[in-house]
Amino acid sequence: MTETWLSPNRRILAVSLAGSIILAGVALWILSFSGVVPRWSGALLLAVAAIAGLVVIVRLFRYRVARQDDKLLIDLGPRPPIPVPIGAVECFFLGSLPTRISGKWGLQSRAVSIVIRLAEREVEYHNRTVSPRLGTWSDGYITIRGSWCEPISPALVNKLNKQLIEAKRASDSIVNEERAC
């Protein structure tokens, strides 16, 4: 069973869903006109709105970080989540990444993020290709942009670290039981 540790930003997804609903309304309005061109245009626009809405709904039920058995699943892109062994994860901490507006108009803004540190010995997990708008994954650090996940706070980071400790203890006890057999 999958246990969600970090959810996506449902506020942004709700705004996206509202956009799809408005687009569907416009499509239905266009469909009310007579003629071949408005009907085809309205039908095409309605199909685009439905597909966009379905994509957003699917994303509402996904996660950024989840635990499944002795793996941490990291979802930072359109591809399936990337599994990382719990033992390879050292800790979670607060970080920051430049925003899209950094450097424009002389601004150097940064957004809060969650950083996952991976063990140095787990070299095979140190680099992965992820969607840059959702975060980065390089040199043993996974950085998740705060704008694309639930609100980040020190309390959330503490909760993630407690869950990690509990998961490692559970994983260690299973290994010890297997060795005893």
Residues 51 and 126 in one domain: no
Query: How confident is the model over 97-112, as pLDDT tens digits?
Result: 777 665 556 566 777 8
Are 55 and 101 contained in the same domain?
A: no
In a domain, residue 158? The reply is yes
Residues 100 and 150 in one domain: yes
- Percent of the chain residues topping a pLDDT of 90: 52
> Is pLDDT of 148 > 90?
no
- Determine the Cα–Cα distance for residues 87 and 77; give it in Å rounded to an integer: 23
The predicted model scores a pTM of 0.76
End-to-end CA distance of the chain: 25
Residue 134 covered by a domain: yes
Quick check: is 37 in a domain?
yes
User: Does 152 fall in a domain?
Assistant: yes
Residue 17 binned pLDDT confidence (cut-offs 50, 70, 90): confident
3 in a structural domain: no
Question: Residue 16 — φ and ψ, nearest 5°?
Answer: -65, -40
Region 148-159: mean pLDDT is 91
Regarding whether 93 and 55 lie in a shared domain, the answer is: no
pLDDT score recorded for residue 37: 86
Would you place residue 178 in the very low, low, confident or very high pLDDT band (cuts 50, 70, 90)? low
| pLDDT tens digits for range 72-83 | 999 998 888 999
Tell me whether residue 106 is in a domain: yes
When pLDDT is cut at 50, 70 and 90, the band that residue 36 belongs to is: confident
Q: CA–CA separation, 117 vs 92, rounded Å? A: 6
- Quick check: is 29 in a domain? yes
Q: How many domains does the chain have?
A: 2
Task: State whether 92 and 25 are in the same domain.
Answer: no
Residue 26: domain span? 9-60
DSSP letter (8 states) at residue 162: H
> Do 31 and 92 share a structural domain?
no
- By C-alpha distance, which of 125, 155, 163 is closest to 141? 125
Q: Which region holds residue 45: left if phi is over 0, alpha if psi is between -120 and 50, else beta?
A: alpha
Average pLDDT (39-62) is 89
